[in-house]
Every structure is written in structure tokens, then in C-alpha cells.
Chains A and B, each alone.
Chain A
Amino acid sequence: MYPDNLYYTKDHEWVKLEGDEAVVGITDFAQKQLGDIIYVDLPQPGKVLEARQAIGSVESVKSVSDVYSPVSGEVVAANSELAQTPDLINKDPHGQGWIVRLKIKDKSELNNLMKAADYEKYLEGLEH
């Protein structure tokens, strides 16, 4: 169920490599845990992030979760659609519900992340 072309973090973010850029979002597991998303706090383009630094936050009615950048880089764009329709994250977490696009600083950081099969195994561990 988790796409093979994405990398995953333990905090339930995903990242997809597109040339020199990385698209980042939260996983299907994360959106289900949060429930209906009502607001997404997005960063300004140009912001430089270290890996594991907070990009912004995702809010449901009764919770707020920080979203951490899986890799280091500079914000190229944020998904402005989310301002009007934050539930895109609920409907299509790995696609239209993307959060930011980064210009990657060091592609080797991706090696620290999980592939789909590992992430699924990781989730199984969490459920017990």
C-alpha cells in the first residue's frame, strides 16, 4: 500500500526524489492517526532547513503535529492548495496532499530513510 518510489521516516513523513528536488508529505498512517485535517501551517519559500527540523505543522480538531523535514534543503514551494483544502492530506496523502518541495542539499541523506517495505514493517511493530 505504501508506494515503492518514496522514502519514509519514523515520524511518518515521506519524501520523493524528483531530479535535484524532493517532495515531502505525511504518510497515510499519519493522516489516519490525526483524523480530519483542518489546517496546515506552511513554510515560506526560501527557508533553509536542516534534516529533522520542523517544516510546519498539521492540525486536526484536537491535535497539532509538527512535520519534520526528512532531508536538508531549501524550500522551493509549499502546496498552497492546502490553505483552502487541507483535507487533500486525508484524501490523497502521498499525492495531491504533498506539503513542500525542497531543493536537496545532500542526496546521501536519503540513505538514512526507510523504503516502503521497511516502513510497513516498522508500522506493524507500532501496532503491537
Chain B
Amino acid sequence: MSYIPISEQDKKEMLARIGVESVEDLFCCIPESIRLKGLLNLPGPLSEPEILEYFEERGKKNSFDRYLSFLGGGAYDHFIPAVVDYLSSRGEFVSPYTPYQPEVSQGTLQVIFEFQTLICQLTGLDIANASLYDGATGAAEAVLMANRVKNKKRLLVASNVHPEYRQVIYTYTRNLGLEVVEIPYDRLGRVDQKGLESALNSHTSVLLCQSPNYFGVVEDLKSLGELTHRHDALLAVVISEPLSLGLLEAPGKLGADIVTGEAQSFGLPLSYGGPYLGFMACKKEFVRQLPGRIAGQTVDAEGRRGFVLTLSTREQHIRREKATSNICTNQAHCALRATIYLETLGRQGLKKMAWLNLQKAAYALETLTAIPGVSRKFGGPVFNEFVLEFPTDWNRIKQKLEEKGILGGLALGEAYQGLEKCALVTITEKHSREKIDRYAQVLREVLK
């Protein structure tokens, strides 16, 4: 079964028209010495039911779904309305290419235009692109973009930015002669402003911070913006939990020049880490430095509104080595899901969703810290994640919780020296009061 609709009869007639004896002859340009002599050593062919069974069997080897999970840290288990799966699985959305022929791609293009609008509304910035791979590459693209805008080699990155995002930034910048400096965090779990002030100098292009940050703490963006701007640097903010924007002030209104992030929370399943959805928005004046595809509005030959991919001269297929980024394919179908999700929830729904997350997290924080030996590590305000400190190494407690069917949080000790006794706990609207109470009860037993 090779999904091939050509019969033996077709093949014969087609070869006759081409004027060759056999299909083999069509490969005469490949030297004999490098031709495979037999078949590849691959399994299959498997039938449809065999394939389903194969994957179902592997699914059974994943025992994750038998646990009550409080894991987050850049990947969130949120409720997804049924309409998102239903509409996004239409073949007209799943099976087209990038909209190179706008006259027959108005669906995809209008969706991108609406996505860009929603991202602008959420971030409080002027323009947004059609998507990037994920939050981590978004963070890397953001610092590179800031470097193009300011043309200064020093890039500041807050140490409470997601550790994997920071790793990607290092990978992306290491060959470009750029200096990446990490800024420490303070007692509240926020960017240490004194540390920031001493790191800012006239060679600095940008401060990249995350809010809510990897500790779940919401940053004081206004102060960070004022500080960085005073040194003629940009403030770039990366957001891994964009649901927070249903409640928190838009970063663009607090001084952020570039906002990027991970929009997996908007209608994408956990998917063991991908595909996810990077987004990026910025001020209008940086438009020519914005990476990735952008959809724009125009008119057709009869004066009717239509949409096209525009400002393509920034991109690799035209500018080649001088392009703003090498990105080509983006995450269009993920952006479609996010658009359906956001438009379905709408103004009321998104606000309510954010409120549920905030309140449930607050309840969980209060309930869990009421347990003797458990305390809140950082004093800064949080949205739906927070760091708890325990009397002993978290990995030992984690193990005991796991034995009782609970994934209690993410260890922080590997990425942050001194936080070996701490865990990042995530609450979403899917955690009922009963689930939170169960966690508290088991934790109490474990710590006894």
C-alpha cells in the first residue's frame, strides 16, 4: 500500500509515451556504484488495522495518563473546546501548502490575519507575524531581532527565563560574535533590578525577560522597561503561559518593545512537546526586522478586500543570506487552532479562563503551604504556577508522590543551584478542588 493510484496498465502506457522500456531506465543518471542492490531493511508493509494496533500498543507503554499531574513549565494541560478539533481537522486547512497563490488561499490568509490581530490585542503591540516554531526559538529570534535593531552586541537574558529557552538562545547566538549575559533573580523570584542596572551599558541591545517567569512570578515590566530604555536598549518579553494575558496588562502597554512566546496553551494538546506555536509581536517601527511570514490586507482587481503574504523581501527566499531569519515553514496549522480557540472563547471566555487559573492556583498555594514543612519560595505575585520549598531534596519527595499516583511538580535543582529543595507546581482550570485537595492530602502523608 503506497497510496499510489497508477495501475500496471497506466504504467505501461506512460512508459511508452516517455519512450523508455522500464521505470529502471528513468534512473540511468544515478551511477550503478551507489544504487541499492536490494530492498532497504525496513519493517512493513503493515495494514491499516496493524498500524493502529502498533501505535495503540506503544500508547499502553505510556503510563502518564494514570497519574494526577501538576506539571507545567512551558507546556500546559488546558481544556480544548470540541469545535477546535472539529474545524481544524478539515482537509481544506490540513492539506494546503503555504499560501503562495493568494487567490486560492484566502482561507489560510484570513486566518493568519485574524491570528496576527489577536496577538496584537493580547500583547498590546502594533504588529505580529504569522507564527514561529515555538517559544524557545521565539526567544532566540527576539534577541537576534533586537540586535539587528540596535546593532549592539551585548544581550541580557534573565536567568529566570525558561532554561530550555536560554539553551536555544545560546545555540543560536554562539556563532555570531554576540555576548549573552545572564541577570540574576531576587528574593521575590523576579529579575534583580540592581543586577540588571549594573549589567546594562552602552553596548546593550536588549533585556529578554519572561513573565510570568519560569518560577511562575509575574515580572514588574514597567520598571524593567524604564531601566532598559534609559540605556538605549530594548525590552523583549517572552511568555510561555499566554493565558495570563486574559488577566494581566498587555506587556506592550508597560514598555515592552518585542513580545514573543509559546501559544501551546491556546488549543494545542501537550503532544509530548510539539508541534507547539511560537508567536512574535513588536512595535511598528521594527517591522522590517521582524522574522517570519506576515499576512497583509489589500484589494483585488475588482477592488474587493483580500489578503496576501507581504513584506517578503525580509525573507530568505528573496534576500538569501541577508534575510532576517532562515525560517521558511512556520506553524500555520497550530496558529489556526489558536485562532479558533481564541475566537471561540472570545473576550468573556478568555477572561474567565484566566480567572479560573488564577483563583485555583491561589487556592492550591494556600492549601499546600498550610502543610507543615511546605513553604512558598518566592514572594512575587503569581498567575497559575508557583515554587514551593520542602524540608528535603525535592527528588525524594517527588519519588514518594509518584508512588501514590501524583506528579507533584517540576524539579528546579538541575537548572538552579540552591533550589534543590524546590519544585515548580502548575495549576490549570482542569484541576478541580477535589484534585488539589487530593494532592494536599497525599503530600501531607508523604511528609509525615
Contact = CB atoms under 8 A, between A and B. Distances in A.
- The answer to whether A and B touch in the complex, with CB atoms under 8 Å apart, is yes
Nearest to A64: B313
Contacts of B319: 64
A63 interface: yes
A61 B311 CA distance: 7
B395 interface: no
Contacts of A59: 313
B308 to A, nearest CB: 9
A119 interface: no
A64 B319 CA distance: 7
B318 interface: yes
A39 B318 CA distance: 14
A128 interface: no
B173 interface: no
Interface in B294-321: 312-313, 318-319
Interface in B312-333: 312-313, 318-319, 322
A67 to B, nearest CB: 14
Contact of A62 (B288, B318, B322): B318
Contacts of B288: 39
Interface in A52-86: 59-64
Nearest to B317: A62
A34 B267 CA distance: 43
Interface string B161-202: 000000000000000000000000000000000000000000
Contacts of A39: 288, 313
A44 to B, nearest CB: 12
Nearest to B319: A64
A57 B288 CA distance: 13
B287 to A, nearest CB: 10
A39 B319 CA distance: 14
B289 to A, nearest CB: 12
Nearest to A66: B322
B313 to A, nearest CB: 4
Contacts of B312: 61-62
Nearest to A38: B313
Nearest to B320: A64
Contacts of A38: 313
A60 B362 CA distance: 54
A8 B28 CA distance: 50
A39 B288 CA distance: 10
A63 B319 CA distance: 8
Nearest to B322: A64
A93 B318 CA distance: 24
A104 to B, nearest CB: 28
Interface string A28-51: 000000000011000000000000
A59 B310 CA distance: 12
Contacts of A60: 313
Given A61-B313, A64-B313, A64-B318, 13 more contacts: A38-B313, A39-B288, A39-B313, A59-B313, A60-B313, A61-B312, A62-B312, A62-B313, A62-B318, A63-B313, A63-B318, A64-B319, A64-B322
Q: Which 8 A-B pairs have the closest CB atoms?
A: A59-B313, A64-B313, A64-B319, A64-B318, A62-B318, A63-B318, A62-B312, A39-B313
Interface of A: 38-39, 59-64
9 contacts: A38-B313, A39-B313, A60-B313, A62-B313, A62-B318, A63-B313, A63-B318, A64-B313, A64-B322
